Structure 1
Amino acid sequence: MLFAHFRASMDNWDPRLLNNLACARTVIAFDNKGVSSSGGATPDSIMTMADDAADFITALGYAKVDVRGFSIGGTVAQELMFRHPAMVRRAILAGTGPQGSDGIRDRDPRISQVATKTPVELTDFLYLFFQQTPTSQAAGRAFLERRGHRDIDPEPASTAQTMAAQAKASASYWSNKTDGPDKLGRVKSPVLIANGSDDIMIATANSFRLFQLLPDAQLILYPDSGHGFLFQYPDLFARHVSIFLSDQGEAK
């Protein structure tokens, strides 16, 4: 079960990454309530987003799943583990951090400005998700080209309501400096934490903090990469995810 990043729809996932993962298991990407073509209004609470995801999982007939949350999707995945622990077998938290951590890094005010632009341009995405090096930028362009090949029933862009609700939910989640460590310390599910070596969206240090707080966690950092490391290294990341998920049997 895949939980996407800020403002993203199902079409924002890397098809190469999804195809690699789907070789060994069922992969379900979905738009949570109000996102893109999904009905309703996007809630302004991470907890509500997690409950909505739990309802969706139950409606599909699954009692237990593996989850992968990317960016804001990583906070939703964490809350799913807190609020519905029996539902999560294993979790992958990519480019995210614990409740109360630093969300958008404050070293450059341009980050927040670009992240909320409409529409997001090619150069904006390459700035936010990839390192400003020739190799990382080339990988970013290759990812966007792969993503652009999906032209059957394309998902519409998420609305201003979704952006505002997700921004409010994220701000509230990051501002809570007290609850995160205790909740993470009670998580029973094994967790794989992954990020780029220098994530300007959600600082890489937050991934290490997750690793410190979770009782059963592994941490992988990918070189010369940022927030979009999983799109820069789709084959390698898929291999690491497969190894992690296969370690103790399969989800339903």
Structure 2
Amino acid sequence: MTRRLGLNLLNTIQISKHQSAVQLSDFRCEWCLTTVSNSVSGFLCHHCETILRAPYPACSQCGELLNSAERRCQHCQQMPPAFDYTLAFLPYQAPVSYWLRQAKDRRRYEWLLRLGYWMARYPPAAINQVDAFAYVPSGWQKRLWRGFNPARIICEQLAAMHHKPIVHKALRRRGSTPQRGQQRQSRLLQARQQFASGQQALDGLHLLLIDDVLTTGATADATAALLKQQGASIVGVWALARTPPPGMPIPMPQHGCGLPESQA
């Protein structure tokens, strides 16, 4: 408990330092390397922010990209997930995918603060109707190696900026089988086996489930079902990034980029 409180305090201090430093001095845009005096994100120029946040048609329930005028994808029409809606801030492709891999695979904690701060500046329209936040728990092996849970770091950033409580013990993770590279059905099966209810009193709450990357929605489906079993009436998903379906990349204009050539 003492260690957890210490980590929470450290996270809060680091988040506050990042927010305070955003507009203190000029910086170079992380994508085009242009010198910038201020911006919404604090690490990108306005032009790059606009390009990366270009709107795209997506399913209102799961956030998957659509190539039609329908509001919901075929998956959600035929087998609706347990969560009620999805808010995906960015598409999961370069350079966003590169920055998140830096955070998760190379323990570059500062990238979560940068991206989380930018995400927090664009809250959902119904944020005032949300009672509390929850987050997808990491497996203990990944927490041990990284030293943090990416979804929790982002959740704490969002909660601090929007003055929302966090439900910390509503979800438990029983396993940590890697899902990267797995197909949709395999992910669904694994997700149902890996998570368990925390037995919290969530009666009638409107919860916003925070995650870093939403791929098939299997994890969000399994965890949202557990939150509703504990009494939550509405569960939305607020993800930093959404993976495009296979073979359907989001068109991204060519742009000067500070990424290594292999990652751009």
Which of these two proteins has the greater Rg computed from alpha carbons? 2
The structure showing larger relative contact order (alpha-carbon pairs under 8 Å, at least 6 residues apart) is 1
TM-score by length of 2: 0.31
